[in-house]
């Protein structure tokens, strides 16, 4: 992710403010990504993976967001 972030940081412009000061943020636990499944016929949701966000350091817009471990969404 570090290589990808450096490329994004250097080549991304915010669509809201036009800034290019990108920062990296993590969403864990309640801010994670949940997967829907079924238990005894009821819909249940379990934490699958955390979020990695590319955030504009000037205005705070979340420019891109990724699942930390997308294989856990299967």
Per residue of the chain (74 residues), what is the pLDDT tens digit?
Answer: 567 777 877 888 999 999 989 888 877 666 666 566 666 776 666 667 877 888 899 999 988 888 777 787 67
pTM for this entry: 0.63
Give CA separation, 67 vs 5, 29, 44, 46, 58, in Å. 14, 13, 20, 15, 23
Encoded tokens for 32: 């994670």
Query: Longest Cα pair distance anywhere in the chain, in angstroms?
Result: 50
Q: In which residue are the tokens 């379990």 written?
A: 46
| Ranges assigned E (strand) in 1-74 | 22-27, 33-39, 42-49, 51-56, 62-67
pLDDT for residue 72: 75
């Amino acid at each position: 992710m570090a290589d990808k972030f450096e490329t994004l940081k250097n080549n991304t412009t915010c669509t809201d403010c036009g800034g290019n000061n990108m920062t990296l943020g993590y969403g864990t636990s309640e801010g994670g990504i949940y997967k829907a499944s079924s238990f005894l016929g009821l819909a249940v949701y379990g934490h699958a993976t955390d979020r990695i966000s590319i955030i504009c350091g000037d205005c705070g817009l979340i420019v891109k967001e990724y699942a930390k471990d997308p294989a856990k969404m299967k």
